[in-house]
């Protein structure tokens, strides 16, 4: 990965049907999404020149738009192709792919039904989300909670829904932790700021129910890998007072892949054989060395 600022790089971004120079990919300051959070996005990963689970991501982008009240102006197959073309244009083999769509700037106000829906795709080099991830990362408990499903469209990957994630991640970093673990509005274990979480006890996986969480594509992949290994998975309500009962823990997401956790505040975990096996299986799957 490069440390160059994201607004000042060489290359191209696909935007509203054409490639533009990276530095020229701009929007108006009165864009509705900038003020009211009316944007949706995806995070895809390319491995060895191929984007993993691409169509799943494209379909979720379209569904997220619908949940926010607008239609992304492309089909899933068209989005797939644009992502492939943008990856090819970048010349990268392993990369992060970011398709996103948003309400434009024709109207300014809470209501903006007449605003044009724009779409763009950017690609950049990407390594591990966390340095030395097999060492295990550290989590603190977040102050902010995931809200109830009747307060937000919780199944949308919407820009505005990430405000509490940013606040929680910043607070975790300020305290010296790698990330934050969020509870939901009922006080149950929910997820990290950009990843789902799994625990291990007595050879079985435990993960929070998905009733208020984004339908995670990596989470679904991990469930399939667990089935492939014959592991029992308990998708259920998990409460904070259970944290001391688990022996291993890991988080999963497109950016994080499968990353072990070694500490959640005072609770310590040791990445064991089961976690290592899951990490290896996922790596083999995305590099097309394993088929499910």
CB 223 within 8 A of CB 233: yes
User: What is the 3 state secondary structure string of 205-262?
Assistant: EEEECCCCCCCCHHHHHHHHHHHHCCCCEEEECCCHHHHHHCCEEEEEECCCEEEEEE
Query: Residue 180 and residue 170: Cα distance in Å, rounded?
Result: 9
Cβ neighbours for 188, distance < 8 A, ≥ 6 positions apart: 208, 209, 237, 238, 239
Q: In whole angstroms, give the CA distance from residue 123 to residue 83.
A: 8
Owner of token pair 């979480």? 197
Helix axes 273-286, 217-228, angle to 10 degrees: 110
Q: Is 26 a catalytic residue?
A: no
Question: Is residue 6 exposed (0-12), middle (13-18) or buried (19+ Cβ within 10 Å)?
Answer: exposed
Among candidate residues 157, 186, 220, 291, the one labeled active-site is 157
Question: Annotated catalytic sites, by residue?
Answer: 157
């Amino acid at each position: 990965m490069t440390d160059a600022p994201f607004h000042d790089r060489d290359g191209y971004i696909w935007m509203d049907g054409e490639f533009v120079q990276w530095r020229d990919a701009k929007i108006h300051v009165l864009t509705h999404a900038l003020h009211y959070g009316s944007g949706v996005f995806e995070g895809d990963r390319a491995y060895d020149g191929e984007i993993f689970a691409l169509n799943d991501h494209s379909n979720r982008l379209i569904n997220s738009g619908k949940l926010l009240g607008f239609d992304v102006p492309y089909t899933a197959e068209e989005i797939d192709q644009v992502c492939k073309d943008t990856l090819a244009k970048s010349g990268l083999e392993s990369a992060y792919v970011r398709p996103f769509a948003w309400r434009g700037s024709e109207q300014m106000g809470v209501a903006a039904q007449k605003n044009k829906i724009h779409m763009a795709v950017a690609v950049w080099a990407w390594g591990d989300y966390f340095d030395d991830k097999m060492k295990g990362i550290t989590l603190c408990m977040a102050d902010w909670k995931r809200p109830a499903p009747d307060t937000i469209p919780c199944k949308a990957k919407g820009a505005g829904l990430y405000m509490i994630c940013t606040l929680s991640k910043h607070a975790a970093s300020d305290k010296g932790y790698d990330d934050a673990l969020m509870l939901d509005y009922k006080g149950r274990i929910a997820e990290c700021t950009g990843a789902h979480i799994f625990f291990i006890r007595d050879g079985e996986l435990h993960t929070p129910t998905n009733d208020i969480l984004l339908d995670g594509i990596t989470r679904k992949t991990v469930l399939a890998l667990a089935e492939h290994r014959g592991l029992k998975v308990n998708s259920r309500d998990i409460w904070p007072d259970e944290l001391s009962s688990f022996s291993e823990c890991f988080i999963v997401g497109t950016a994080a892949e499968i990353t072990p956790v070694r500490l959640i505040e005072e609770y310590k975990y040791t990445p064991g054989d089961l976690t290592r096996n899951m990490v290896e299986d996922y790596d083999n799957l995305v590099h097309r060395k394993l088929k499910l």
